[in-house]
Amino acid sequence: MAEYAPVDLTVENQVEFELDGRRVAAPAGTMLADACYAHGVEIPIFCYEPRIGPPIGACRMCLVEVEGMRGLQTACSTPVAPDMVVRTTTDAVKEAQDGVLEVLLANHPLDCPVCDKGGECPLQDRTFKFGPGTSRYVEPKRHQPKPLNLSHRIALDRERCISCFRCVRFSQEVAQDGELTMQERGARSEITTFSGDPYRGRFSGNIIDVCPVGALTSIPYRFVSRPWDVQNTPSVCGLCPVGCNTELTVREGRTKRVTGRPEPNPAVEEGWLCDTGRWAYDASWSQARITAAVVREATGDRTATLEDAVDGAAALLRGRTAGILVGTAATVEEAGIAADLAGGALPGAVVARMGIPGGALAPLRALPGAQLGDVDDADLVVVAGGDPSAQQPVAELRLRKARRFGATVTGCGPRPHALEALGTFIRTAPGDLAAGVASLAEAIAAATRPVVMWDEADLAGEPAAAEALAAAIAANPAARQLELGAEVNGSGLRALGLPDAGAVLDAVRAGTVDALLLVHADPLDAPGRAAWDAALEGFAGPVIAIASHADATTERADLVLPALTMWEQEGTLVSMNGRVQRLRPGARGPEGAAAGWELLVALAHRLGVVPGYRTAAAAFRAVTAGRPAFAGITPEAAGVLGVPLAAPAQVAGASAPPPASGEGVPLVATRTVYGGAAARRSAALADTAAPAELRMAPDTAAAHWVNDGDRVVLRSSSGESGRLTVRVGDGLPEGVVFAPLGAPGSPTEGVLPADMAPVLVRVARVEAG
Amino acid sequence: MSIQDQLKGFGITFRTMLSKPLTLGYPERKTPVFPRFRGRHRLWTYDNGLEKCVGCSLCVAACPADCIRVVAEENTPQLRVSAGERFARIYEINMARCIFCGYCEVACPFDAITLEHSYELSERDRRELVYTKDMLLAPAPKQAPLRAEGQRV
Q: Which residues contact A176 (CB under 8 A, 6 or more apart)?
A: A400
Q: Which residues of A touch B85 (CB under 8 A)?
A: 111, 114, 146, 223
Asked if residue B27 has pLDDT above 90, the reply is: no
Q: Note which residues in 101-120 of chain B have CB less than 8 A from chain A.
A: 109-110
Residue B112 is assigned to a structural domain of this protein? yes
What confidence category does residue A1 fall into, taking pLDDT thresholds of 50, 70 and 90?
Answer: very low
Domain of residue A615, CATH code = 3.40.50.740
Residue A6 is assigned to a structural domain of this protein? no
A52 Cα distance to chain centroid:
19
Q: Which residues contact A261 (CB under 8 A, 6 or more apart)?
A: A2, A234, A245, A246, A247, A271
Contact call for A228 and B61, based on CB within 8 A: yes
List C-alpha distances in Å: A693 to A176, A282, A674, A690, A708. Answer: 27, 26, 15, 8, 10
> Is any Cβ of chain A less than 8 angstroms from the Cβ of B63?
no
> Is any Cβ of chain A less than 8 angstroms from the Cβ of B66?
no
Same domain as A302, residue A237: no
Same domain as A366, residue A342: no
Measured distance CA(A753)–CA(A331) in Å, rounded: 25
> Is any Cβ of chain B less than 8 angstroms from the Cβ of A231?
no
Q: Which residues of A touch B73 (CB under 8 A)?
A: 223
> Is any Cβ of chain B less than 8 angstroms from the Cβ of A145?
no
Beta strands in A306-407 (DSSP E): 322-326, 350-353, 380-384
| CA angle, residues A303, A320, A355, in degrees to nearest 5 | 75
Q: Which residues of B touch A145 (CB under 8 A)?
A: none
Same domain as A186, residue A301: no
Residue B92 is assigned to a structural domain of this protein? yes
Chosen domain end from A284, A302, A328: A284
Same domain as A496, residue A639: yes
By CA distance, what is B83's nearest residue in A?
A114
Domain of residue A744, CATH code = 2.40.40.20
Compare CB distances from B72 to A146, A223, A228 and report the shortest one's residue. Answer: A223
Residue B97 is assigned to a structural domain of this protein? yes
Residue A434 is assigned to a structural domain of this protein? yes
Domain of residue A478, CATH code = 3.40.228.10
Same domain as A448, residue A342: no
Residue B9 is assigned to a structural domain of this protein? no
Total domains in chain B come to: 1
Same domain as A273, residue A151: yes
What's the length of chain A? 769
Contact call for A226 and B57, based on CB within 8 A: yes
Same domain as A415, residue A535: no
Asked if residue A191 has pLDDT above 50, the reply is: yes
Question: Per residue in A589-642, pLDDT tens?
Answer: 999 999 999 999 999 999 999 998 999 999 999 999 989 999 999 999 998 999
Instruction: Pick from A110, A112, A114 the residue to mutate for testing the B interface (most B CBs within 10 Å).
Output: A114
Q: How far is A109 from chain B (nearest CA, A)?
A: 13
Same domain as A231, residue A154: yes
Q: How many CB pairs under 8 A join A and B?
A: 37
What confidence category does residue A647 fall into, taking pLDDT thresholds of 50, 70 and 90?
Answer: confident
Instruction: Pick from B52, B53, B86, B91 the residue to mutate for testing the A interface (most A CBs within 10 Å).
Output: B86
Residue A123 is assigned to a structural domain of this protein? no
Q: How far is A102 from chain B (nearest CA, A)?
A: 21
Q: Note which residues in 195-224 of chain A have CB less than 8 A from chain B.
A: 222-224
Same domain as A512, residue A591: yes
A609 Cα distance to chain centroid:
37
Q: How far is B108 from chain A (nearest CA, A)?
A: 9
Same domain as A438, residue A464: yes
Domain that holds residue B103: 35-137
Asked if residue A430 has pLDDT above 60, the reply is: yes
Same domain as A721, residue A613: no
Q: How far is A157 from chain B (nearest CA, A)?
A: 12
Domain that holds residue A200: 145-284
What confidence category does residue A186 fall into, taking pLDDT thresholds of 50, 70 and 90?
Answer: confident
Q: What percent of chain A has pLDDT over 70?
A: 99
For residues A213 and A161, the answer to whether their CB atoms sit within 8 Å is: yes
Q: What percent of chain A has pLDDT over 90?
A: 83
The stretch A570-587 carries a mean pLDDT of 94
Residue B109 is assigned to a structural domain of this protein? yes
State the average pLDDT for chain A: 93
Instruction: Pick from B50, B52, B53, B58 the residue to mutate for testing the A interface (most A CBs within 10 Å).
Output: B58
Chosen domain end from A229, A264, A284: A284
Measured distance CA(A569)–CA(A97) in Å, rounded: 46
Question: Per residue in A213-250, pLDDT tens?
Answer: 999 999 999 999 999 999 999 999 999 999 999 999 99
Residue B126 is assigned to a structural domain of this protein? yes
pLDDT value at residue A2: 64
DSSP structure string for A682-747: -STTGGGPPP-EEEE-HHHHHHTT--TT-EEEEEETTEE---EEEEE-TTSPTT-EEEEES-TT-T
Asked if residue A55 has pLDDT above 50, the reply is: yes
Domain of residue A84, CATH code = 3.10.20.740
The stretch A58-70 carries a mean pLDDT of 94
Contact call for B57 and A146, based on CB within 8 A: no
Contact call for B56 and A222, based on CB within 8 A: no
Residue A96 is assigned to a structural domain of this protein? no
> Is any Cβ of chain B less than 8 angstroms from the Cβ of A302?
no
Q: Which residues of A touch B67 (CB under 8 A)?
A: none
Measured distance CA(A302)–CA(A300) in Å, rounded: 7
By CA distance, what is B56's nearest residue in A?
A113
pLDDT value at residue A756: 85
Measured distance CA(B119)–CA(A301) in Å, rounded: 55
Contact call for B60 and A229, based on CB within 8 A: yes
Contact call for B54 and A114, based on CB within 8 A: yes
Residue A101 is assigned to a structural domain of this protein? no
By CA distance, what is B55's nearest residue in A?
A114
Q: How far is A215 from chain B (nearest CA, A)?
A: 14
pLDDT value at residue B24: 83
Domain of residue B81, CATH code = 3.30.70.3270
Residue B30 is assigned to a structural domain of this protein? no
> Is any Cβ of chain B less than 8 angstroms from the Cβ of A119?
yes
Asked if residue A505 has pLDDT above 80, the reply is: yes
Which burial class, exposed, middle or buried, applies to A590 when counting CB atoms under 10 A from its CB (0-12, 13-18, 19+)? middle
Q: Which residues of B touch A225 (CB under 8 A)?
A: 57, 71-72
Sequence letter at residue B98 = C
Chosen domain end from A486, A502, A527: A486
> Is any Cβ of chain A less than 8 angstroms from the Cβ of B55?
yes
By CA distance, what is B63's nearest residue in A?
A228
Contact call for B85 and A113, based on CB within 8 A: no
Residue A133 is assigned to a structural domain of this protein? no
Question: Per residue in A102-114, pLDDT tens?
Answer: 999 999 999 999 9
Instruction: Pick from A159, A223, A225, A256 the residue to mutate for testing the B interface (most B CBs within 10 Å).
Output: A223
Asked if residue A735 has pLDDT above 70, the reply is: yes
ω into residue A122 within 30 of 0, thus cis?
no
Residue A99 is assigned to a structural domain of this protein? no
- Helix/strand/coil for A255: strand
Q: How far is A116 from chain B (nearest CA, A)?
A: 9
Residue B44 is assigned to a structural domain of this protein? yes
List C-alpha distances in Å: A475 to A445, A447, A479. Answer: 6, 11, 8
Q: How far is B54 from chain A (nearest CA, A)?
A: 7
Measured distance CA(B98)–CA(B40) in Å, rounded: 10
Q: How far is B98 from chain A (nearest CA, A)?
A: 18
Residue A473 is assigned to a structural domain of this protein? yes
pLDDT value at residue A653: 61
Contact call for A223 and B58, based on CB within 8 A: no
Q: List, in sequence order, every residue forming a beta bridge with A23; answer none if it has no partner.
A: A18
Q: Which residues of A touch B70 (CB under 8 A)?
A: 229
Same domain as A382, residue A318: no
Total domains in chain A come to: 5
Asked if residue A294 has pLDDT above 90, the reply is: yes
